[in-house]
């Protein structure tokens, strides 16, 4: 299991140091939650902040765009150093154009589904993306409870990807902790995002090690 700590739960006054800390603690990716106060009822940070913290680690930057018009900002996030740009199938941008734009910047593209959106919503685009993100909370805030029923979407997405002869990563985001990660793993998750479980732990390294250990 790959673990992607969500910087949404870090101390924003020292985001560079917090990023470095996650690298040293054994994180696989750095998950960056971008919110625009329109697609979700919360505002976080944008591309300039990501650019500032980019030099603090060589780990992949997994940028989760919870914004209404991702197409408009692909250039900015690409230039800021994103390795994955993941956006929502429920957004207002043209989905195919957004995926193509991401790929034109040599970045991997991912599509996310909110809890109320069926897995089938991503099927028309699966042949074009490298990652599918299944949300296990309503996007907008860290620290919410895991909605287990969403995990069923992973098997559906993986079956469709297999049918298309396409290898994609499935990521789970929301409420992942030592009580829930085994369920996501058994459901087929390849990458788990964890904010609260890693940042609020006394020892982030132990927390990440433990999450990985629970997926064996």
The tokens describing 67, both together, are: 């914004």
Q: Binding marks (x or -) toward ligand DX5, 52..71, rule CB under 6 A?
A: ------------x-------
Stretch that binds ligand DX5, among 51-59, 68-76, 139-147, 204-212 (CB under 6 A): 139-147
Interface residues for Zn ion in 31-60 (CB under 5 A)?
Answer: 33
Strand locations in the chain, DSSP E?
2-5, 30-35, 61-66, 84-88, 108-113, 131-135, 169-173, 191-194
**Residue 18 in contact with Zn ion, rule: CB under 5 A:** no
Q: Is 33 a catalytic residue?
A: yes
Q: CA-CA distance, 150 to 171, in Å (whole number)?
A: 12
Q: CA-CA distance, 98 to 103, in Å (whole number)?
A: 9
Contact (CB, 8 A) for 129 and 96? no
Interface residues for ligand DX5 in 182-211 (CB under 6 A)?
Answer: 193-197
Closest CA to 167 of 141, 136, 128, 194: 128
Among 29, 65, 173, 175, binds Zn ion (CB under 5 A): 173
The residue whose two tokens read 């087929």 is 188
Among 1, 3, 9, 99, binds ligand DX5 (CB under 6 A): 9
Q: How far is the CB of 197 from ligand DX5 (least distance, A)?
A: 6
Active site residues: 33, 173
Residues that bind Zn ion (CB under 5 A): 33, 64, 173
Residues that bind ligand DX5 (CB under 6 A): 6, 8-9, 31, 33, 64, 137, 139-144, 173-176, 193-197
């Amino acid at each position: 299991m790959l673990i992607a700590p969500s910087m949404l739960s870090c101390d924003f006054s020292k985001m560079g140091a917090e990023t470095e800390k996650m690298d040293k603690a054994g994180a696989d990716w750095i998950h960056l939650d971008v919110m625009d106060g329109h697609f979700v009822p919360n505002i976080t940070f944008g591309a300039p902040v990501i650019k500032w913290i980019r030099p603090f680690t060589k780990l992949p930057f997994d940028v989760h765009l919870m914004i209404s018009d991702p197409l408009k900002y692909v250039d900015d996030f690409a230039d800021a150093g994103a390795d994955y740009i993941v956006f929502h199938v429920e957004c207002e941008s043209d989905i195919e154009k957004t995926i193509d734009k991401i790929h034109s910047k040599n970045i991997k593209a991912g599509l996310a589904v909110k809890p109320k959106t069926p897995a089938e919503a991503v099927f028309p685009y699966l042949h074009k993306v490298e990652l599918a993100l299944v949300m296990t909370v309503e996007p907008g805030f860290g620290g919410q409870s895991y909605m287990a029923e969403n995990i069923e979407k992973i098997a559906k997405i993986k079956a469709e990807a297999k049918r298309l002869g396409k290898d994609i990563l499935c990521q789970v985001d929301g409420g992942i902790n030592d009580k829930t990660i085994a369920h996501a793993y058994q459901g087929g998750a390849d990458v788990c995002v964890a904010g609260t479980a890693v940042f609020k732990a006394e020892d982030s390294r132990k927390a990440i090690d433990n999450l990985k250990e629970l997926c064996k």
